């Protein structure tokens, strides 16, 4: 099974994904976490000039989907945290994996700018960072997510949220 967490930078994908993977792994050891930023680093894709352009983001997303598919075919559960900019890829995921559950971490831009965990939004506002999704690259909001989590407010009890989310995904 693949659980796909979608959302803009700072929306809480990785925070929730890490806890979900930890809990899922405690009952099914064949569980891995794939994070878009970490996969970029593994493939040194974060060092290319075009890494954060739409084309570069597509390359990274294709790698993540391929890794998820490889793991899924081997019976390994995956929690994948990815900005997921491409609706066509999200739609294809529904038939590509043995089981697929999509979660949209929905945070408004005001909350993301306040949180700004990576400094992306400040840098984009200052004009020193380009190709920031939600600022100068449009983010097509998921329209068929299996679960939408509003993540604009304060951080919830992440352990409880992960438990409830895994139950809704049927991963328990």
Active site residue 84: yes
Going by C-alpha positions, the residue among 82, 74, 99, 66 that lies closest to residue 33 is: 82
- For residue 154, CA distances in Å to 34, 108, 131 come to 25, 13, 27
> Around Cβ 68, how many Cβ atoms within 10 Å?
24
The structure tokens 């930078």 sit at 9
DSSP 3-state assignment of 133? strand
Burial label for 6, CB within 10 Å (0-12, 13-18, 19+), is: buried
Q: How many CB atoms lie within 10 A of CB 29?
A: 9
Instruction: Kindly name the residue from 9, 84, 98, 151 that is annotated as catalytic.
Output: 84
Annotated catalytic sites, by residue?
Answer: 84
């Amino acid at each position: 099974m693949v659980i796909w967490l979608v959302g803009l930078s700072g929306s809480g994908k990785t925070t929730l994904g890490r806890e979900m993977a930890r809990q899922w792994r405690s009952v099914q050891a064949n569980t891995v976490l794939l994070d878009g930023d970490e996969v970029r680093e593994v493939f040194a894709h974060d060092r290319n000039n075009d890494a954060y352009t739409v084309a570069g983001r597509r390359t990274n997303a294709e790698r993540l989907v391929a890794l998820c598919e490889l793991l899924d075919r081997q019976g390994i559960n995956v929690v994948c945290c990815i900005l997921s900019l491409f609706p066509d890829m999200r739609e294809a995921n529904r038939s590509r994996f043995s089981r697929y559950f999509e979660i949209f971490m929905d945070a408004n831009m005001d909350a993301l700018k306040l949180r700004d965990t990576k400094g992306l939004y400040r840098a984009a506002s200052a004009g020193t960072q380009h190709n920031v999704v939600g600022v100068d690259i449009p983010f097509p909001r998921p329209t068929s997510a299996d679960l939408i989590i509003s993540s604009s407010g304060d951080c919830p009890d992440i352990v409880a949220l992960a438990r409830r989310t895994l139950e809704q995904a049927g991963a328990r």
